[in-house]
Amino acid sequence: MEMWPTTEELENIVQMPHAYLEAKASEYGGTAVHDLEVPTYAGTFTLSASAYGVACVFFPGVEDYDVTERHDKYGFALASWGRQRAIEAGLELMGYMLGEIRHFETPVDLGFLTPFQRDVMGALVSVPYGETITYGELARLAGHPTKARAVGNVMRHNPAPIFVPCHRVVAASGLGGWSGPHGWKEWLLELEAKNR
């Protein structure tokens, strides 16, 4: 796992066109990610990114074992093709944690999920910063109006929280569960409410 580059290293990173990196990744045929530790105001996160975008987000305190386990679950390989995306996403995550970024430009790569899961995640990224939606509303938005319970299950297993903002999905009767550690859902909602 790569540590966050120094300012000097960031300035010297060769900016390869994304199309080139995506072409190299497509030759592999699976999902290959680059892991990067990202120091933020709220702690050090770990991002896994492919040449196409962010694939996984791990909260501060994650163990290497947890990262490896998630990679194994999704059949990820390790490759440098995602380094540029990981750095771009890391810079945005730093800004988000400071309340300066409200919309992520770095895409997410969830091609390893099922079509239903991708429908739900695709609908969720349209929920604006600082707003919330219920599981039932998200099910309707995703085109599966009778599957609110299944949507809740997708939220509990979201591999890329924050970039796919499952913290914005709440139960009709309260906060509800989510894929991140305890206490972070409330913290993220408060951060967004304060910086709207």
| Catalytic-residue membership of 56 | no
Taking CA atoms, 161 is separated from 14, 24, 37, 52, 146, in Å, by 28, 27, 16, 17, 24
Q: What is the pTM of this model?
A: 0.89
DSSP state of 6: P
Q: Residue written as tokens 């944690």? A: 97
Give the residue range(s) of CATH 3.30.160 domains in the chain: 7-97
User: Rounded to whole angstroms, how far apart are CA atoms 135 and 186?
Assistant: 17
User: Rounded to whole angstroms, how far apart are CA atoms 100 and 159?
Assistant: 24
The token pair at 17 is: 């066109």
Q: Which CATH architecture has domain 115-194?
A: Orthogonal Bundle (1.10)
* Residue-by-residue pLDDT tens, the chain, 196 positions: 777 777 666 666 656 667 777 887 788 777 899 999 999 999 999 999 999 999 999 999 998 889 999 999 999 989 888 999 999 999 999 999 999 999 999 999 999 999 999 999 999 999 999 999 999 999 999 999 999 999 999 999 999 999 999 999 998 887 777 788 889 999 999 999 999 8
- Catalytic site residue from 123, 151, 166, 169: 166
* Whether CATH 3.30.160 fits 7-97: yes
| CA–centroid distance for 99 within its chain | 17
Give the residue range(s) of CATH 1.10.10.10 domains in the chain: 115-194
Residues 6+ apart with CB under 8 A from 59: 43, 45, 161, 180, 181, 184
User: Rounded to whole angstroms, how far apart are CA atoms 104 and 52?
Assistant: 14
